[in-house]
Amino acid sequence: GIQVEQSPPDLILQEGANSTLRCNFSDSVNNLQWFHQNPWGQLINLFYIPSGTKQNGRLSATTVATERYSLLYISSSQTTDSGVYFCAVSNSGYALNFGKGTSLLVTP
Amino acid sequence: DSGVTQTPKHLITATGQRVTLRCSPRSGDLSVYWYQQSLDQGLQFLIQYYNGEERAKGNILERFSAQQFPDLHSELNLSSLELGDSALYFCASSVGETGGGIQYFGAGTRLSVL
């Protein structure tokens, strides 16, 4: 199946800092989603972005499908941004294949 | 709120027992997916139903089964439970049949097998 690699695996930031999370995938995709898993375990949809660029407040994402990667930008980070960020992809199949995630801790 | 409802939120049971997890998809969504999140395996796909029919299978054990009912809610049945089945089980739903649309995830059911 399609392989998904996320980097970095862990990230510690001070409040107010910016960060970039990366997702590489091994094949063409027709679905790419970014999720935030909060400390209570909930998976929150951030972006549906199989290609192109989207922005939502302090978060933005870019997927370059031809080069098989996606980036999630977090600006002016807040402590509530802490948690695990997952990239998940599908390539004409049915299921989402998840990466192992980037664990983010934002300190005051 | 994603619109996907999962019950119960938490489940504690013993080895060898059987449990049923329930999922109600978002209004209008015909596909339901089940995923398992464990510490050692990460998030992995178990099974998908579309409009009552099984559409795809992932790493689902033979001790596990699922179905989707005419009202489109789905149930995941886990039997002969083992300690290693302790995990967070997510249900997701989407409008279409294939993976090209947004999947919305429920809050999950946390299963603890003691």
Strands (E), chain B: 5-7, 10-13, 19-24, 31-38, 42-50, 53-57, 64-68, 74-78, 87-94, 104-105, 109-113
Which of B105, B109, B112 should we substitute to test contact with A (largest number of A Cβ atoms within 10 Å)? Answer: B105
Can you give the pLDDT at residue B41? 86
Which residues does residue A47 pair with via DSSP β-bridges, in sequence order? A34
Q: Which amino acid is at A94?
A: Y
Contact A41 B110 (CB under 8 A): yes
B100–A30 CB contact, under 8 Å = yes
d(CA B59, CA B68): 18
Look at strands A19-25 and B74-78 and give their pairing: unpaired
Share the mean pLDDT of chain A: 95
Contacts of B31 in chain A (CB under 8 A): 94
Is the alpha carbon torsion for A45, A50, A56, A58 positive or negative?
positive
Q: Is the pLDDT of residue A73 over 90?
A: yes
Name which of A92, A93, A100, A86 is nearest A36 in CA terms.
A86
Do B108 and A94 count as a contact with CB atoms less than 8 A apart? no
pLDDT of B100 reads 62
CA distance A27 to A16: 35
Q: Reading across the β-sheet that carries B5-7, which strands appear in turn? A: B5-7, B19-24, B74-78, B64-68
Contacts of A42 in chain B (CB under 8 A): 105, 107-108
Q: What is the mean pLDDT of residues B51-65?
A: 93
Confidence of residue A92 (pLDDT cuts 50, 70, 90): low
Task: Give the whole-number percent of chain B exceeding pLDDT 90.
Answer: 86
The 10 Å Cβ neighbour count of residue B51 is 12
Q: Which residue of B has its CA nearest to A44?
A: B105
Kind and range of the H or E element at A83? strand A83-90
Rounded average pLDDT over B66-74: 97
Q: How many CA atoms lie within 13 A of A56 on its CB side?
A: 9
Q: Is the pLDDT of residue B2 over 80?
A: yes
As a whole number, the mean pLDDT across chain B is 94
Residue B99 has pLDDT above 80, yes or no: no
